[in-house]
Structure 1
Amino acid sequence: MALVSIENVDMRYGGPEGTLAVSGLDLSIARRDFTAVVGPSGCGKSTLMKLVTGLHIPQKGAVVVAGHEVTKPVSIVGMAFQNPTMLPWRTTLDNVLLPLEIVEKHRHRLRKHKDEYVAQAEALLETVGLKGFGSKYPWQLSGGMQQRANLCRALIHEPELLMLDEPFGALDAFTREELWCVIRDLHASRDVTIVLVTHDLRESVFLADRVVVMSARPGRVVAEHPVPFERPRDLEIMYRPEFNEMVQALHGEIANARELA
Structure 2
Amino acid sequence: MKERPFVEIDRVWMRYNGTGGTLALRNASLTVEREEFVAVVGPSGCGKSTLMRLVTGLWPASSGSVIVAGKEVDRPLSIAGMAFQNPTLLPWRSILNNVMLPFEVVEPHAGRLRRDRASYEKQCLELLELVGLKGFEAKNPWQLSGGMQQRASLCRALIHQPQLLMLDEPFAALDVFTREDLWSVLQNLWMVRKPTVILVTHDLREAAFLADRILVMTSRPGRIMIERKVELPRPRTTEMTYTPYFQDLVQDLRGHIDRARQGEEMAHAH
Q: CA offsets per residue over residues 116-172 of structure 1, 9 Å max, x none?
A: 110000111000000011100011011000000000000011000111100000001
Runs of 4+ in 1 over 4 A off after TM superposition: none
Instruction: Supply the distance in 1 between the matched residues of 2:248 and 2:24 (Cα, whole angstroms).
Output: 30
Tell me which amino acid in the other structure corresponds to 1:127: L
- Asked if residue 240 in structure 1 is aligned to residue 250 in structure 2, the reply is no
- Asked if residue 129 in structure 1 is aligned to residue 132 in structure 2, the reply is yes
Instruction: Supply the distance in 2 between the matched residues of 1:102 and 1:235 (Cα, whole angstroms).
Output: 37
- Asked if residue 145 in structure 1 is aligned to residue 117 in structure 2, the reply is no
Instruction: Supply the distance in 1 between the matched residues of 2:192 and 2:94 (Cα, whole angstroms).
Output: 26
Which residue of 37, 51, 56 corresponds with 2:54?
51
Deviates more, 1:182-191 or 1:63-72: 182-191
Q: CA offsets per residue over residues 73-102 of structure 1, 9 Å max, x none?
A: 000100000000111111111100111111
Tell me which amino acid in the other structure corresponds to 1:128: V
5 Å-filtered alignment, 1:170-249, equals 170-249=173-252
Q: CA offsets per residue over residues 13-47 of structure 1, 9 Å max, x none?
A: 11211011111010000001000000000000000
- Asked if residue 27 in structure 1 is aligned to residue 30 in structure 2, the reply is yes
Shift of 1:201: 0.3
2:79–2:162: 8 Å Cα contact kept in structure 1? yes
Tell me which amino acid in the other structure corresponds to 1:98: L
SS in 1 for 2:108: helix
- The CA RMSD over aligned residues, in Å, is 0.9
Give the aligned length: 261
2:12–2:61: 8 Å Cα contact kept in structure 1? yes
Instruction: Supply the distance in 1 between the matched residues of 2:25 and 2:60 (Cα, whole angstroms).
Output: 12
Q: CA offsets per residue over residues 218-240 of structure 1, 9 Å max, x none?
A: 00000011011122211100111
2:161–2:193: 8 Å Cα contact kept in structure 1? no
Name the structure 2 match of 1:111: 114
Tell me which amino acid in the other structure corresponds to 2:241: M
Instruction: Supply the distance in 1 between the matched residues of 2:124 and 2:157 (Cα, whole angstroms).
Output: 11
- Asked if residue 10 in structure 1 is aligned to residue 37 in structure 2, the reply is no
- The TM-score with structure 1 as length reference comes to 0.98
Structure 1 unaligned runs (5+)? none
Q: CA offsets per residue over residues 167-192 of structure 1, 9 Å max, x none?
A: 00000111000000001111111131
- Asked if residue 97 in structure 1 is aligned to residue 100 in structure 2, the reply is yes
Tell me which amino acid in the other structure corresponds to 2:252: A
Which residue of 35, 58, 63 corresponds with 1:60?
63
Instruction: Supply the distance in 1 between the matched residues of 2:240 and 2:42 (Cα, whole angstroms).
Output: 23
Tell me which amino acid in the other structure corresponds to 1:57: P
Shift of 1:255: 0.7
Instruction: Supply the distance in 2 between the matched residues of 1:197 and 1:157 (Cα, whole angstroms).
Output: 21
Instruction: Supply the distance in 1 between the matched residues of 2:14 and 2:120 (Cα, whole angstroms).
Output: 38
SS in 2 for 1:112: coil
- Asked if residue 86 in structure 1 is aligned to residue 93 in structure 2, the reply is no
Q: CA offsets per residue over residues 193-234 of structure 1, 9 Å max, x none?
A: 111000000000011000000000000000011011122211
Which residue of 163, 187, 193 corresponds with 2:166?
163
Name the structure 2 match of 1:253: 256
SS in 2 for 1:104: coil
SS in 2 for 1:125: helix
Tell me which amino acid in the other structure corresponds to 1:8: R
Structure 2 unaligned runs (5+)? none
Instruction: Supply the distance in 1 between the matched residues of 2:25 and 2:224 (Cα, whole angstroms).
Output: 10
2:56–2:77: 8 Å Cα contact kept in structure 1? yes
- The TM-score with structure 2 as length reference comes to 0.95
Instruction: Supply the distance in 1 between the matched residues of 2:252 and 2:62 (Cα, whole angstroms).
Output: 34
Instruction: Supply the distance in 2 between the matched residues of 1:253 and 1:69 (Cα, whole angstroms).
Output: 32
